[in-house]
Amino acid sequence: MITTTRTTKTAARRPAGKTSTPRRTIEEKKAQAAALHESIATQVESLRDSERWTAFLARASAFHAYSLGNVSLILGQRPDASRVAGFGKWQGLGRR
């Protein structure tokens, strides 16, 4: 005969010997959010002013229908690309 034991939800969530972190006050959460916002704003501003970012946006605008990942792959393989076609299209054009 097989027997099973049930554990409480609390025991299942928190491993033995671990203590929970103290809860932060609303003021602490607001301060952390403000610091994160400032950090993000600073990083975005530095990106906006960089020549590489401006060049990337200029090139990526030609491929607005593609995801960021695909645009990165296209520009990584051929930075001067002006048009892109799928594999089936290339086959149809006789380029294998």
pLDDT at 22 over 60: yes
| Locus of tokens 């002013």 | 49
Percent of the chain with pLDDT over 70: 79
SS3 content of the chain, % helix, strand, coil (to 5): 60, 0, 40
Dist CA 32 CA 34 (whole Å): 5
Mean pLDDT of 49-68: 82
What's the pLDDT score for residue 34?
93
Cβ distance 55 to 74 under 8 Å? no
Segment 29-48, tens digit of pLDDT = 999 999 989 988 887 777 77
Alpha carbon separation from 15 to 6, 11, 49, 63 (Å, rounded) = 15, 7, 47, 49
Whether this model's pTM surpasses 0.95: no
The pLDDT, as a whole number, for residue 18 is 64
